[in-house]
Amino acid sequence: MSGGSGGGGGGGGPSLMDSLFQRTLDDLIKGIRLHTPGAAQSSFISKSLDEIRREIKSTDLQTKSTAVQKLTYLHSLHGVDMSWAAFHAVELTSSPYFLHKKTGYLAASLSFRPSTDVLLLLTNQLRKDLSSANQHEVSLALECLSVICTPDFARDLTPDIFTLLTSSKNFIRKKSIACLLMVFSQYPDAVRVCFKRLVENLESTDNAQTLAATVGVFCELASKEPRSYLPLAPEFYRILVDSRNNWVLIKVLKIFAKLAKLEPRLAKKVVEPICDLMKRSEAKSLIFECVRTIVTSFHDYEFAVKLAVSKIKEFLLDTDLNLKYLGLQGLLLVAPNHLWAVLENKEVVIKSLSDVDRNIRLEALRLVMSMVSDDNVTEISRVLIGYALKSDPEFSNEILRSMLTTCSRNVYEIIIDFDWYVSLLGEMARIPHCQNGEEIEYQLIDIGMRVKDVRPELVRVGRDLLIDPALLGNPSIHRILSASAWISGEYIRFSKNPFEIIEALLQPRTNLLSPSIKALYIHSLFKVLSFCLHSFLFPTNSSLSRVIDEPDFTYSESEGEGETKTFSNLFTKESTVNMLTLVVTSLTPLTETHDVEVHERVRNVLGLAKLAQEEISREVNQNDFKTSIIVRLINDALSEDLGPVSLTAQERVVIPDGLFLEENLGNLDTICANVNIPVSESFSLVKHVLTDVDYVSSQQNEESSEMSGVESTSTSLLSKHRKKHGLFYLPSDIPENDSRNFPPANDPNNQKDNDVEDLVRLTEESLVLKRKSNVPRPRPVVVKLDEGEKFTVTRAKTESNDDLISGAVRDVLLGNESSSYKGKSHDSHLKDGKSEIGDSSRRKSKKKHKNVEENGERSKKKSGGRHKGRQRADGGVNVAVQNPVIPDFLL
């Protein structure tokens, strides 16, 4: 086949010498092998490529063929671009020699793409070869077409393939059938022409070769849109019962798995034969397919599922790892409907968690996760943490990741004991190689905001993490530490010993943190510090305010008393002064830092600390302290809890009358260029005390008003908008039990009396949270936002090729023409000019089958002349298709 220079020098090529001494493909391969991979090899390849470029222009077909052959080799194995040689490949396909033709077609099918410019040149050659008397030429053309088919090819060549579908040679028929799949997907109208013959091939069970191809095509078609193929169920049923070919049976099972979901009566009929097959067959592949079909589509049939599970068990216990893997996969499919099957095989599953093969471990992990429910999440987590500790880092992280996702699903649906879960999160952070810092960080803060009852435990967990200097050495958990720092600052009132936390936040190894996290540490320090000063300066007040703040913390009431006592012991003058000294000495070096954020925060803390230090050491009467006033103000500001904000919050803002919102925000940049974004001024301790939220909202306020100011010229509208801005997050007229309601997180009780007050407060603060009002389980309240939390994306349904195909199939099978025009006219609108050829050919095909046309029940629908022609052509192919027989068959 790589015939070298045998073809005789045609003369007119680049040179006679090139043709005579042309390297053959074998020479090229040997050459490549001689050169070591790397520079030497690639220079050899580029040298050969130069030769090929010369040779390929030769008029001698043999020389050209060898050149294309070599190029194809380089293209497919060494990734050399050969799009430039597309024309030469096309040229070769028209050679009278079969071998050249073959080389040309192979090059085309390996390298052509829909955008290849010479593609259309191939149309005529393909048509010629499709109608060739030599079956091998036909086969070459079909194979090539099945790879490079475009809508144009499909449209132009459908008539030729239609003819081949009845070829007397099986060799050709099976290939033309297999080719149809590609043709249909490129040109759905071909279905109307060819579908009937495809169905005929399904009926001729005597021919094993074509049957395999036909079932393959139907399996692919049905996997996209099964409903259209329901009328063919009797045919598939016959194959299921009669066929002895495992390949075919597997495909038929796949078809039934799809069909049975649509037609319950079908399931009843088919489930028996499938079980027979499962019992009878020796082939594992077939058995597994039966199992898969049963557990996915026939899970209502208890006896079938039992049989399938017993087969799965055999797989699981087999020494063949492949079977074990598939057994686990099978279990995973059973799990949603029959959890008992998983529990029955629990041991194998758990043992597989330590299998040598990572893939098997992953499957086992998925299974374990499928078993998790609110009853067993504690035990399973304990087991999994154990495995995470002894597995390799990659798998260990995989375990943690799936635990985190499973536990946080649906706003921590399965978690009842949050104290336990929070400490689990802390434990995860300590697992070596933990890479899930980001997720754990998110969940810690998220739980803190959503679940009020868990905050004391959260603070404890955070403290344990903060205080451990070893953890600071692991950069991958810095994010968790940052969450812990934030929690400690935000919920410091639950801490047993705030001084301890101050020390932890100031420990020397914190210089290993990145500046942004460092800044968060210092800001948390600020919160803790102001809390401590507050507790020191207002010993009674602090406990009082806490009781007022948190009346629903009844369980901690008595404890709270105790705490207050300890606190009053704790916050002595000496300890406070020591604390202040520690803060000042540790932070002073940081004033030199280059990071703006850290610098700023350090200044804030130092400002407060130095002021307090001075006044406390001067021993003035406490009531005259400037610090007292400041600390009280700061503390009031900080005691406000942060909460999650609904994603739909923005949507709640009512657009004022006459305000014109532009659809296209393309010119936003130019608008924003004129807006002076307020630069955060340095924190002034006395006058300008804001919580983060207030600050943000005031910024939003400014921005939005500025925006609307630009948008609308009317100043009265602007003031109206400002007035409405109070309702930014929440309309005030929603009743309490409405699910869209957002009581605040720190709302003591959902008492009706407080409603009005609450709502007033709500409108003042832009802080909104929703809380599930009556939880049946003894589970702490988890604050959830409304549906806005999930984005329900409504997908715009476009009419894809699949829809067109199934539409056409349905029309052909059911003889239903009235609906068929939607797809057709749509298509003809698109390529009105081009479809002429297709039309005429279809008319031709119609003539050929006029004999069967008479029993066609064509719709009498009037339509334009042009459409009429089409309609009749369709009628021609529609007829003689059996009526939809499902009902008879099923009952």
Partner 1 sequence: MGIRFILMVNKQGQTRLAQYYEYLTLEERRALEGEIIRKCLARNEQQCSFVEHRNYKIVYRRYASLFFLVGVDNEENELAILEFIHLLVETMDRHFGNVCELDIMFHLEKAHFMLEEMVMNGCIVETSKTNILAPIQLMDKAS
Which amino acid makes up residue 340?
W
Beta bridge partners of 771: 783
- What DSSP element (H or E) covers 353? none
Is residue 450 within 8 A of residue 411, CB to CB? The reply is: yes
- In whole angstroms, the minimum distance from the beta carbon of 464 to partner 1 comes to 38
- Which residue lies nearer to partner 1 by CB, 252 or 492? 252
Comparing CB distances to partner 1, the nearer of 160 and 289 is 289
The residue among 78 and 847 lying less far from partner 1, judged by its C-beta, is 78
Least Å from the CB of residue 143 to partner 1: 5
**Closer residue to partner 1 (CB): 391 or 495:** 391
Minimum CB separation of residue 97 from partner 1 in Å reads 10
Closest approach of Cβ 328 to partner 1, in Å?
10
Least distance in angstroms from the C-beta of 363 to partner 1:
9
The C-alpha angle 435, 439, 442, rounded to 5 degrees, equals 140
Record the tokens describing residue 794, joined without a space: 């409504």
Rounded to an integer, what distance in angstroms lies between the CA atom of residue 373 and that of residue 410?
Answer: 13
Least distance to partner 1, CB of residue 303, Å: 23
Closer residue to partner 1 in complex, CB, 64/174: 174
Q: Is 90 or 217 the residue whose CB approaches partner 1 more closely?
A: 217
Nearer to partner 1 by Cβ, of 222 and 477: the residue is 222
Query: Minimal distance in Å, beta carbon 300 to partner 1?
Result: 22
- By beta-carbon proximity to partner 1, the closer residue of 25 and 483 is 25
Dihedral through CA 548, CA 550, CA 556, CA 560, nearest 10?
-40
Q: Which is nearer to partner 1, 70 or 479 (CB)?
A: 70
879 and 855 Cβ atoms separated by less than 8 Å: yes
Q: Which is nearer to partner 1, 363 or 457 (CB)?
A: 363
The nearer residue to partner 1, 254 or 784, going by C-beta atoms, is 254
Long-range contacts: 257-264, Cβ < 8 Å, 24+?
Answer: 257/292, 257/293, 257/296, 257/297, 258/222, 258/223, 258/226, 258/297, 259/222, 259/226, 259/229, 259/230, 259/233, 260/297, 260/298, 261/226, 261/297, 262/226, 262/227, 262/230, 263/230, 263/233, 263/886, 263/890
- Do residues 292 and 250 touch, judged by C-beta distance below 8 A? no
Least distance between partner 1 and beta carbon 432 (Å): 23
Residue number, 117 or 663, with CB nearest to partner 1 = 117
Q: How far is the CB of 120 from partner 1 (least distance, A)?
A: 17
Query: Do 371 and 339 touch, CB atoms closer than 8 A?
Result: yes
Q: Quick one: 97 or 728, whose CB is closer to partner 1? A: 97
What's the closest the beta carbon of residue 79 comes to partner 1, in angstroms?
5
What residues line the site for partner 1 (CB under 8 A)? 1, 3, 25-26, 29, 37, 69, 73, 76-77, 79, 81, 98-99, 102-103, 106, 110, 113-114, 136, 139, 142-143, 146-147, 171, 174-175, 178-179, 181-182, 209, 212-213, 216-217, 219-220, 223, 245-247, 250, 254, 284-285, 288-289, 292, 321-322, 324-326, 356-360
The answer to whether 244 and 274 have CB atoms below 8 angstroms apart is no
- What is the smallest separation between the CB atom of 161 and partner 1, expressed in angstroms? 13
- Considering the complex, state which of residue 143 and residue 694 has its C-beta at the smaller distance from partner 1: 143
CB of 75 to partner 1, least distance (A): 8
136 vs 779, which CB is nearer to partner 1? 136
Exposed/middle/buried for 279, CB within 10 Å: 0-12, 13-18, 19+?
exposed
Structure tokens at 204: 């001729």
Structure tokens at 131: 């109608």
Question: Residue 791: which residues within 8 A CB-CB, separation 6 or more?
Answer: 647
Distance CA 450, CA 363 (A): 33
Q: Which amino acid type is present at position 223?
A: S
Residue (243 or 510) nearer to partner 1, CB: 243
Cβ contact 103:86 at 8 Å = no
The C-alpha angle with vertex 113 and arms to 111 and 119, in degrees rounded to 5, equals 95
For residue 243, the minimal CB distance to partner 1 (Å) is 13
Q: How far is the CB of 72 from partner 1 (least distance, A)?
A: 8
Sequence-distant (≥ 6) Cβ neighbours of residue 507 within 8 angstroms: 469, 472
CB of 108 to partner 1, least distance (A): 12
d(CA 417, CA 267): 43
C-beta separation of 58 from 91 below 8 A: no
CA dihedral 718→724→729→734, nearest 10 degrees, is -160
**Which tokens belong to 710?**
């630009």
Distance CA 425, CA 457 (A): 12
b/e for 129-153, b at 16 or more Cβ within 10 A?
A: bbeeeeeebbbbbbbbbbebbbbbb
Shortest Cβ distance from residue 77 to partner 1 (Å)?
6
Compute the distance between CA of residue 93 and CA of residue 106 in angstroms, rounded to an integer.
9
* Token couple for 872: 């009749």
Least distance (Å) between residue 375 CB and partner 1: 31
Give me Rg for the CA atoms of the chain: 38
Tokens of 826: 């749509």
- Looking at beta carbons only, is 32 or 631 nearer to partner 1? 32
Q: What's the per-residue H, E or C state across 54-98?
A: HHCCCCCHHHHHHHHHHHHHHHHHHCCCCHHHHHHHHHHHCCCCH
Helices (H), 112-230: 122-130, 135-148, 151-164, 170-186, 190-203, 208-224
Shortest Å, Cβ 58 to partner 1: 20
- Measured from the CB atom, the residue of 257 and 608 that comes closer to partner 1 is 257
Spatial distance between the Cα atoms of 329 and 356, rounded to a whole number of angstroms: 17
